Structure 1
């Protein structure tokens, strides 16, 4: 089966066996399976792609395109690894999986015009469009010299470009300058997302909210702020984000900042499980005994839950937990690569992000936020005074220790 041979009447068994890298595409679109075997057990070996997509209500044309992108990306990565992954890039663009295809499409429109206008055929970039964890440039942050880094870096979360080594070697020395943004949404300004040092530019955010299962909540009070989740009345009744068994650190970072180790211990006592957000949206409001009363979930997945009669989205009064989507731009590249910078902070891609419930900083974009919605931010002073990679490992370690201990005691009982 060639890439362009994937059709709606293709058997999922044939696709996943020939292209195991496409498993992440299925997982990202609501097929809650972490292995090829579990996916085939769930759907059956004879099920055709068209049938599965209709059941899930997934856009068929877009899904096939995502499969093809993932397969092509795998082939490109292999080729790059065989040739020269250390080649100098001008642009690297990372974003969250649900936005990757949109990001890539908008980027390629800009790239086509840029090459046409400038004739620059040496422009090199890496913009992954699939959801694979493989990345030939995963060690980019380890560069020895600023000239080895791309002129424009777009990334997400408190990852490699917030590592202490990277920050001290490049960021603190002023190699990167924040992009001027004349009109920023008031909610993001109020949260403190503008870097006063003028280094990082947060152009969008990934907000976490609460999704309440009304039936499972019963007579318990609806949590209104993040500290409510530490109350023992929610014991074993909260599900938080996880991927492949690894707990996401976002919630833990905020709990630790506000409540210290004691907060992590209290939270661990209340956590029933760690799930992928698509599984939360699929289960919330159903009669499944595996579910819980409260889900800490990205806003976009909360909005995708179809059972609005039995669920409720809570935007906490102290703000949605905020993970940054940002760019680092070399001062020398501000003018030369302005089209790509404008793409990141501009209206067109911004509105498409907002339409997918990824709020952006551009004040001209309608972020479709609830009335009086606010954002909770770790704060630049806090972020820059910590080694974020070490802090992430620490808070996850403390949480896991107490959560596993609780689970063992529960099993023994």
Structure 2
């Protein structure tokens, strides 16, 4: 109960706002100091009935009651999907914060494997939107019929978040110049190369190398991991155009989940080159046939985005501050091997690891959803360049 109404019962009013008892007493209703009386009589008696029986100025009493009522804190809703390997460590930090928050926080943050359909359905109208979204991938945020439309309408607030030098420098910037989209971390896509399957062919050192016919039927990309797959499509298209997307697609052997790539490495059944998140590549056993290769033209970046509604920013700010804190950034960087943009976080990078990102100028200037559908068709050979 935020504002008292004449139709509210005396019990409901005094239970929700104990400070109103003093106001009622000041209006000559001394007997209402008795909790038992409030429980019995007040259970069915409305404020309007009480005023009529005691011939009180209902409007004046209502104003006096509402003057001492402090609005009940509205809650904050956060929704999104989290990369599977890092979800548990992140939730281990987020859950205690939610439990200790003075403002109620309703959070729905399942693993990315659950898909985006449920989020897409809930973002069809402005009224359905949560206050904060924390989610991996491009699909949700840059769809011109969904989140992208709301971003253009000014529904989301520009956020001023400090980035570290790893991802805000002369070579790469993950900072949105409009401030709407905050990148908290990313999944870098690199290569896992099976030397036994590679044979006499040269070790691929770049994405451009993978366009060569010598790698025909030799490359695996986890197409079911839409976040990573879409990032690869956009990254290759941004750097090498549709021809690069088509050439990479023509060399694909199969789609395989990154965990399968690691498992198959020991069985010698993996393709010659597997595109995989750095997290999985870092799990490769030493001395085996499978080795990790960081592309010279850059590990393709699949970002984890944060956006917040403008009209609830005041309530959401403590949660946003926490999500952009060094504490969360360190979890991303250390436990999940997902480099973080958060200022002050040590990503354990040497400074020689290049990254490939399609850039916010591109993301703001096109309908990413339509672009991805076209690029997927080109990749699969269903549409000519």
Alignment TM-score, normalising by the size of structure 1: 0.68
Equivalent residue for 1:310?
289
Equivalent residue for 2:235?
254
Shift of residue 177 of structure 1?
2.6
Equivalent residue for 1:56?
none
Equivalent residue for 2:194?
213
- Secondary structure of residue in 2 paired with 1:243: coil
Q: Deviations over 1:61-94 (max 9, x none)?
A: xxxxxxxxxxxxxxxxxxxxxxxxxxx9621132
Equivalent residue for 2:215?
234
The question of whether the paired residues in 2 share the 8 Å contact of 1:184 and 1:361 is answered with yes
Equivalent residue for 2:138?
158
Shift of residue 255 of structure 1?
2.2
Equivalent residue for 1:385?
365
- For 1:91 and 1:263, the matched residues in 2 are separated by 38
Residue 112 (1) aligns with residue 91 (2): no
Equivalent residue for 2:88?
101
Shift of residue 165 of structure 1?
2.2
Equivalent residue for 1:84?
none
Equivalent residue for 1:274?
255
State the Cα RMSD in Å. 2.7
Shift of residue 337 of structure 1?
2.2
Unaligned runs of 5+ in 2: 1-74
- Secondary structure of residue in 1 paired with 2:372: helix
How many residue pairs align between the two structures? 308
- Secondary structure of residue in 1 paired with 2:337: coil
- Secondary structure of residue in 1 paired with 2:380: helix
1:237/1:137 CA distance change after superposition, 3 Å: closer
- For 1:324 and 1:244, the matched residues in 2 are separated by 14
Q: Deviations over 1:204-226 (max 9, x none)?
A: 11110011112222222222221
Q: Which has the larger radius of gyration?
A: 2
Shift of residue 234 of structure 1?
1.2
Aligned match of 2:265 in 284, 292, 299? 284
Q: Deviations over 1:366-402 (max 9, x none)?
A: 2123441121110111112221111111111222236
Equivalent residue for 2:20?
none
- Secondary structure of residue in 2 paired with 1:253: helix
Map 1:305-384 → 2, pairs under 5 A: 305-355=284-334, 356-384=336-364
Identify which range, 257-266 or 357-366, moves more after superposition: 257-266
Shift of residue 319 of structure 1?
1.4
Unaligned runs of 5+ in 1: 1-87, 406-413
Equivalent residue for 2:124?
142
- For 1:328 and 1:134, the matched residues in 2 are separated by 16
The question of whether the paired residues in 1 share the 8 Å contact of 2:220 and 2:252 is answered with yes
- For 2:142 and 2:290, the matched residues in 1 are separated by 36
